[in-house]
Amino acid sequence: MLEIHPGVELVVDTPYIYIRRDRTLIVADLHLGFEEAMAETGIYLPRGQLRQFMSDIENAFNMLNIERVVIAGDLKHRFEKLGAQERREIDEVMSHLRKRGVEVVFIRGNHDNYASIVTSRYGVEPRPYYRLGEILVIHGHQGIAEVGGEDLLGGVEILVYGHEHPSISISDRLGKIAKFPCFLEIPLTIGGRVLKGLVVPAAGSYQAGSPVTIIRSNYLSPITRDHGDVDNAKPYILARGDGIFELPSLRYIQDLM
């Protein structure tokens, strides 16, 4: 575990954030059903995302006292329908979390059309955001005005979101490149206030990630594009089996990326 704010921890060997005070685990961007969607385009991938998620979530349960799991959007992959693999795997995830006895909060992402057909059977309906005291969790595909307006940020100190699928590629002097998913801690200026943004890496193992950069226009989320101080954003590399590693701010390592 790596604490990056009092009571806010990055969970080792998983792309998850843990809020200790609230015993809450935050995950984002599972993109269940991705393999089936790719197969329909002629690209055949082993169906491994659900298996990886189940392994990761069990590791988290074994390490932590978890009473609530917040899915911060993009539980599924397809936009246009609920595919057979999506339906089956969402059901497996919801069933597993129910057996674990945790509360499930589902924040709607831009890929989550029709996901509620399955989640509603478990009494879980999608919502635009979730508040944990001074922490606000959203998906990240919409601006603050679309989510609920700046009034929503009253008392908020930390904004947790996904959607970006952040990753970082680092090259050495010989040109060898290694790519890692990463958490991204980024100062956000919204309505004259500076908040701490925490971007969660994608939980889906095939969601390779969008490279972090000091060019704001390259980011997917309007939160980052419109409000982020990307020069001073700090990546935390998720290196499975080795731990989580804090890097300097992006402005100091841009020549290595």
Could you tell me the residue ranges of all domains in the chain?
2-256
Q: Using CA atoms, how far apart are residues 203 and 224, in angstroms rounded to an integer?
A: 20
The domain covering 2-256 belongs, at the CATH homologous superfamily level, to Metallo-dependent phosphatases (3.60.21.10)
Best CA proximity match to 50, nearest among 95, 7, 17: 95
Torsion of CA 178, 5, 25, 84, to 10 degrees: -40
pLDDT per residue, tens digit, the chain (257 aa), is 899 999 999 999 999 999 999 999 999 999 998 888 888 888 888 888 899 999 999 999 999 999 999 999 999 988 788 888 999 999 999 999 999 999 999 999 998 999 999 999 999 999 999 999 999 999 999 999 888 888 888 899 999 999 999 999 877 666 667 889 999 999 999 988 999 999 999 999 878 778 999 999 999 999 999 999 999 999 999 988 888 999 999 999 887 76
Judge contact between 103 and 141, C-beta under 8 A. Answer: no
> If you average pLDDT over every residue of the chain, what do you get?
91
**pTM score of the predicted model:** 0.93
Best CA proximity match to 71, nearest among 48, 87, 90: 90
Distance from first CA to last CA of the chain, Å, rounded? 26
